[in-house]
Amino acid sequence: MQTDSELKRAVRISEGEGGRQAGGCSDCAHVQSCLSRSLAGTNLMPIFESAIDADHIIDAGEPLVRAGDNFDALYVIKSGSFKAIVGENPANILGFYFATHLVGLESISKRKHSSGLVALERSLVCELNYQKLLDLFRRFPTVKVHFIEAMSGQLNESLTLFSVIRAGTVLQRVATFVLYLAAQHDRRKLASVDIVLPMGRTDISNFLGISPESLSRALTSLSKKRLLQVFNRRVTVLNRDALAALAGG
Amino acid sequence: MQTDSELKRAVRISEGEGGRQAGGCSDCAHVQSCLSRSLAGTNLMPIFESAIDADHIIDAGEPLVRAGDNFDALYVIKSGSFKAIVGENPANILGFYFATHLVGLESISKRKHSSGLVALERSLVCELNYQKLLDLFRRFPTVKVHFIEAMSGQLNESLTLFSVIRAGTVLQRVATFVLYLAAQHDRRKLASVDIVLPMGRTDISNFLGISPESLSRALTSLSKKRLLQVFNRRVTVLNRDALAALAGG
DNA sequence: CGCTAATTTGAGTCCGTTCAAGGGCGGTGG
DNA sequence: CCACCGCCCTTGAACGGACTCAAATTAGCG
């Protein structure tokens, strides 16, 4: 899911910073989709930046947060991707998060992280202290609105995925997942036909609640039906409408 | 799920009002768990009440909102219960909501209701205009914090249910559902041993992504194992720990 | 280039669904 | 008050899809 340009940017930004640095919103590739988007280009941006504690570089396989950690910050993914795991066994995957996503929202109410977040690839995140963020909401109502809409969007997305994955057949679940990834690409204004999966088959099958064998068979089945093309972790969508029809029915 | 006292209160409040009336927070049984809880008893309460447009009485089987409706208000369930359905076929149930729940959160970002809400029994809800609510957030930061925590809690709850229901066996799903209902009773400080289901078997099985026959068999199976007792829509939890062990493993 | 882990493929079994029929409860009308 | 009727829930039997177990192939990496 990580594009070359995003990766290049992440590496450039992180050069010689040793995994921790001050965040620079004006430089960020995602100002236009971030909570701060209504402040972009104005002289108010430095105030927003005061809520950002630091940027963090997380290597593939490393945790951003562990289940049970105290909650005190949210994170915006600047580049890369993460998987959310419940408990300590890596077998229960709750979801995946990509660039521009705001993560940690489900942990606000309990003041503890209910799930862990593990980087699927070398990733760059921007840390938003929750208390500072609440202060910002008072100063900038539009930021607060963006935040609420981000939460609402995630809730809606969870429920949408849930409705299919809960009851659908293996083929429906896999089709839904591919469409979900394509939608993520759309949201980032990237080509949504060619998708490079940042996660392994096991992660996907765990997320979908099916066995890795079933996932493998489903992918070859969809290939034979010319709905998509699979080469290792590269997925090419050949017939998006047919996939949608399959997922929806 | 509706207790006698809640029902009595709802009826008393709604007497002779023809299904629509001004909301009175000071009178409400749920002030202590509502968004307004930090304002309770103060002279600021009337300002909060200004965000409340009206109370609505919804008869069993009637919709509170339909999928596709424009979003402009959230609702607090004062008494009764609702099911959320996706699309127009009643076969896809996203979730259930009970007294004290705040509903409609997933529809904020799209300005349209992505799912319909149908009353499972005669219910009373309190309408919160979203724009007025946003104004209130500016005046009362604590109300805003409560709101954010409510959203976070729902997101967390969705993900928790999702993790089990997606991949678990029929027995695990049913055990999880019973525990979920018990937890709802706990949250409302009610006895969590005796549960009266406001919804039919079909609704439950749709929500859990299993067939009604499987649900029926699972319930008799759990009865035989002495984990619970079922009589029509009345469920008595006999061994909560064993249910939790079954759901978790 | 060899190792290890991940993915794919195959065969058999099991769980849950589907199809079909039998009860039980509540509502309605006589 | 009781009988009837319709709907929902339960129970049973057979089918089918997904899982499990096992092995081969491949990819990733030092």
pLDDT tens digits in sequence order for chain B, 249 residues long = 555 445 545 444 444 344 445 557 888 889 888 999 999 888 899 888 888 888 999 999 999 999 999 999 999 999 999 999 997 777 899 999 999 999 999 999 999 999 999 999 999 999 999 999 999 999 999 999 999 999 999 999 999 999 999 999 999 999 999 999 999 999 988 888 999 999 999 999 999 999 999 999 999 999 999 999 999 999 999 999 999 999 987
DSSP class per residue in chain B:
---HHHHHHHHHHHTTSTTEE---TTT-TTTTTSGGGGGTTSTTHHHHHTTEEEEEEE-TT-EEE-TTPBP-EEEEEEESEEEEEESSSTT-EEEEEETT-EE-GGGTTTTB-SEEEEESSSEEEEEEEHHHHHHHHHH-HHHHHHHHHHHHHHHHHHHHHHHHHHH--HHHHHHHHHHHHHHHHHHTT--SSEEE-SS-HHHHHHHHTS-HHHHHHHHHHHHHTTSEEEETTEEEES-HHHHHHHHH-
Nearest to A127 by CA among A77, A90, A86: A77
Is A4 a residue whose pLDDT tops 80?
A: no
CA nearest B165 in A: which residue?
A: A166
Give contacts of B209 with chain A, Cβ < 8 Å. 166-167
> Cβ–Cβ of A159/B115 closer than 8 Å?
yes
- The pLDDT of residue A18 is 40
DSSP symbols for B125-177:
EEEEEHHHHHHHHHH-HHHHHHHHHHHHHHHHHHHHHHHHHHH--HHHHHHHH
Q: Do A206 and B95 touch (CB under 8 A)?
A: no
Footprint on protein of nucleic strand D, Cβ below 7 A: A 169-171, 209-211, 213-214, 232-233; B 200-202, 212-213, 215-217, 219-220, 230
Give the CA angle between residues B81, B82, B88 to the nearest 5°.
Answer: 165
CB contact (8 A) between residue A166 and residue B162: yes
Cβ contact A103:A117 at 8 Å = yes
What is the pLDDT, as a whole number, of residue A14? Answer: 45
User: Which residues of chain A have a Cβ shorter than 8 Å from any chain B Cβ?
Assistant: 84, 86, 92, 94-95, 105-110, 114-115, 134, 137-138, 141, 144-145, 147-156, 158-160, 162-163, 165-167, 206, 208-210
* Listed ranges A14-18, A24-28, A61-65, B20-24; the one with the highest mean pLDDT: A61-65
Distance CA A197, CA A201 (A): 9
Across residues A79-101, what is the average pLDDT? 92
The string of DSSP codes covering B96-110 is EEETT-EE-GGGTTT
Task: Judge contact between A225 and A174, C-beta under 8 A.
Answer: no
Q: Do B148 and A151 touch (CB under 8 A)?
A: yes
Q: Could you give the CA distance from residue A136 to residue A140 in angstroms, rounded to a whole number?
A: 6
Minimal C-alpha gap between B152 and chain A (Å): 5
Res B14: pLDDT: 45
Contacts of A236 by beta carbon, 8 Å cutoff, 6+ apart = A193, A194, A195, A228, A229, A230
> What amino acid occupies position B193?
V
Please tell me the distance from the alpha carbon of residue B66 to that of residue B112, in angstroms, as a whole number. 10
> Which pLDDT band holds residue A13 (cuts at 50, 70, 90)?
very low
Are B143 and B35 contacting, i.e. CB atoms less than 8 angstroms apart?
yes
User: pLDDT by residue (tens digit) across A111-169?
Assistant: 999 999 999 999 999 999 999 999 999 999 999 999 999 999 999 999 999 999 999 99
Would you state the pLDDT for residue B208? 98
Question: Residue B163 and residue A138: Cβ atoms within 8 Å?
Answer: no
- Is A111 in a helix, a strand, or coil? coil
Computed over every residue of chain B, the mean pLDDT equals 90
Measured between CB atoms, which of B108, B115, B159 is closest to A152? Answer: B108
- Output the distance from B164 CA to D16 C1' rounded to whole Å: 24
Residues 6+ apart with CB under 8 A from B150: A109, B35, B102, B105
Strand partners, A83: A96, A118
How many angstroms separate the first and last alpha carbons of chain A? 27
Asked if A105's CB is within 8 angstroms of B155's CB, the reply is yes
Which phi and psi angles does B229 have, rounded to 5°? -130, 135
Which long-range CB contacts under 8 A does A238-241 form with residues at least 24 apart? Answer: A240/A179, A240/A182, A240/A192
Phi, psi for residue A15 in degrees, rounded to 5: -55, 125
pLDDT at A199: 98
Closest Cβ opposite residue A109 in set B107, B110, B152:
B152
What residues of chain A lie within 8 A of the CB of B163, using their CB?
86, 92, 94
Note whether A144 contacts B144, CB cutoff 8 Å. Answer: yes
Report which residue is nearest nucleotide D17 when distances run from CA to C1': A169
pLDDT of residue B6: 53
Count CB-CB contacts under 10 A for residue B184.
21
Question: Which of A74, A151, A154, A180 is the best residue to mutate to test the B interface, defined by the most B CB atoms within 10 Å of its own CB?
Answer: A151
Task: Please give the pLDDT value at position A122.
Answer: 96
Whole-model pTM: value is 0.92
Q: Which amino acid is at A235?
A: V
Q: A73, A126 in Cβ contact below 8 A?
A: no
Q: pLDDT digits over A222-237, tens only?
A: 999 999 999 999 999 9
For residue B69, how many other CB atoms are within 10 A of its CB? Answer: 15
Residue in B84, B94, B166 nearest the CB of A165: B166
Bases along strand D below 7 A from a protein CB: 8-13, 17-22, 27-28
- Cα B216–Cα B220–Cα B221 angle in degrees, nearest 5: 110
